[in-house]
Amino acid sequence: MLILGRVASVISILMYVSYLAQIMSNLAGQHGNPLQPLIAAINASFWVAYGLKKERTDWPVVIANAPGIVLGLITFITSF
């Protein structure tokens, strides 16, 4: 389970890091759809809150989803 959790955390971070390409396209004038990154940022916010509110903080959940808040919001903002 430990290995599964770590792999899932890395994949989650990579999913959010993939927004960097969309951010670059947005900044270059090729704007994408803002809805998906906004929903991803909201989803990541809920997961971070969940991880922080557990009796014992679930750091893998928090760390895996924190980039989603920042990168999702940046992608959303630059989509206009």
User: Which pLDDT band holds residue 64 (cuts at 50, 70, 90)?
Assistant: very high
Task: Provide the domain count of the chain.
Answer: 1
Determine whether 37 is exposed, middle or buried from the number of CB atoms within 10 Å of its CB (0-12, 13-18, 19+).
buried
For the chain, the average pLDDT equals: 96
pTM, two decimals, is 0.90
Q: Is residue 26 part of a domain?
A: no
Does residue 2 register a pLDDT over 90?
A: no
- With beta carbons less than 8 A apart as the criterion, state whether 17 and 72 touch: no
Question: Residue 52's domain spans which residues?
Answer: 2-13+32-78
Q: Is residue 62 part of a domain?
A: yes
Does residue 5 register a pLDDT over 90?
A: no
